[in-house]
Structure 1
Amino acid sequence: MTESSRSIVLGRLRQVLPPAIELPPPATSGEWQQFADPYQRFAEVLSSVGGQAVRVRTIAEANQHLLSMDTWQSAEQTLSAVEGIGPGNVDSEAIDDPHQLEKLGFAVLPGEFGVAENGAVWVTDQSTRHRVAYFIAQHMALVIPAVIVHNMHEAYGRIQPADHAFSGFISGPSKTADIEQSLVIGAHGARSMTVYVVESQQ
């Protein structure tokens, strides 16, 4: 199709388009799905997608659990953006080129809250200089306060994406499958993900 033919076709399509209608804002209140124990549901869903939730009382308890993990102990490069956990041997604040994180073995990063219905965690770049750390590490731990909302409707009521250059939901480690339905974990991101749900931030 030549450029002129393309323009003619697109022009005709524009002539028959229905008028634009302003959509209502997404509903954040209503009779949405609720769970008797949001944390339990969060942990179950996260496990079903290849991750694990660990409920701890304090940051120190989360740190103790982390230091006992084989994946942390065997990682050549480790990074922690959470005070009181680690510390890692990579200082992301001292790195200007994010390509220097290409061999990152384990990253401990902050999250803001979890979502029970899909095991997701809301993350932003507020405490992390290089957002690639959420995706480049071989293994990852997210540390969140003990705030688990029931569903995505409640989640959207809590977030302000415009306040951050980067933000998003992460649920479990990287997963991909081909047409033969062979599931591969870790092909495009972390091979494992642990979420520490911390009761007290002291």
Structure 2
Amino acid sequence: MSSSRDAILAKIHRNRPGGPALPDIHSVPFVTFDDKFAAFAGLIRNLGGEAIWLADGQSVADVVAQRWPKTGRTVDLTTMPHEEAFTPHDWHDVDVAIVPGELAVAENAAVWISHPDNIFRSLYFLTEKLVMVVPKDKLVDTMRDAYGQIAIREHGFGAFISGSSRTADIEQSLVMGAHGAMAALVIFC
């Protein structure tokens, strides 16, 4: 026994016009870069950040200490155990956050950051300086390549982060760190 509501909705569904045909994204030629790192590094530099290769024998902590010798609290999620309970308020005084990046995209200098349990998401935007550590073999050409890798699983939280945060108003006053870190460094290791 069906209600009049169900009958009306079924009639609407049967008589609904078809939507437009979706474009075939695979017909567009793939963009590739001869030097993905150079493309990434040049673009992130234009965005106010920097990208470097980690030298043999050098640690991420060494690079951070050399770059910012006078810093306050540093949080390194690449070495921190994830069993502890955190709240967003735990990150209010972090000067440098070192976080693992899952992959980086050459075409827009973005780094995919993701954690299944969501406990660190506020840290990425509250810190003064954000260091994203990405495996060297996880630098892809395009967002299409990136989504091909990340879209196949569930994420508790994920974001593409690029460069330092900044915005300019109508009077052309540039504000650094408006929506996130004032400085961004991507270390490929």
One fold, TM greater than 0.5? yes
TM-score by length of 2: 0.79
Aligned ranges for residues 125-144 of structure 1 at < 5 Å?
A: 125-126=115-116, 129-144=119-134
Q: Give the partner amino acid of 1:77.
A: R
Q: Which amino acid in structure 2 is aligned with residue 82 of structure 1?
A: T
CA drift at 1:160: 2.4
**What residue identity is the alignment partner of 2:31?**
Q
Matched, 1:101 2:97: no
- 5+ long unaligned stretches in structure 1: 1-17
User: How many residues get paired?
Assistant: 173
Instruction: Show the counterpart of 1:75.
Output: 71
Superposition deviation, residue 48 in structure 1 = 0.3
Corresponding residue of 2:166: 175
- Shift in Å, 1:142: 0.2
CA displacement at 1:57 relative to structure 2: 4.1
Pairing 1:37–2:30 present: no
- Sequence identity percentage: 34
One-letter identity of the residue aligned with 2:105:
V
Mapped contact 2:118–2:156 kept (Cα < 8 A): no
How far apart are the structure 1 equivalents of 2:162 and 2:96?
Answer: 17
In the alignment, the residues of structure 1 paired with residue 116 and residue 23 of structure 2 have an alpha-carbon distance, to the nearest angstrom, of 26
Distance in 2, matches of 1:183 and 1:37, equals: 31
Give structure 2 stretches of 5+ with no counterpart: 1-15
Task: Give CA deviations for 1:113-165 in whole Å, capped at 9, x if unaligned.
Answer: 11111111111014873211111101110000012111112111111275111
**Is the alpha carbon distance of 1:29 and 1:196 closer, same or farther for their aligned partners in structure 2, counting shifts above 3 Å?**
farther
Contact 1:175 1:187 in 2 (8 A): yes
RMSD, aligned CA? 2.7
- What amino acid is the match of 1:81? L
The one-letter code matched in structure 2 to 1:76 is G
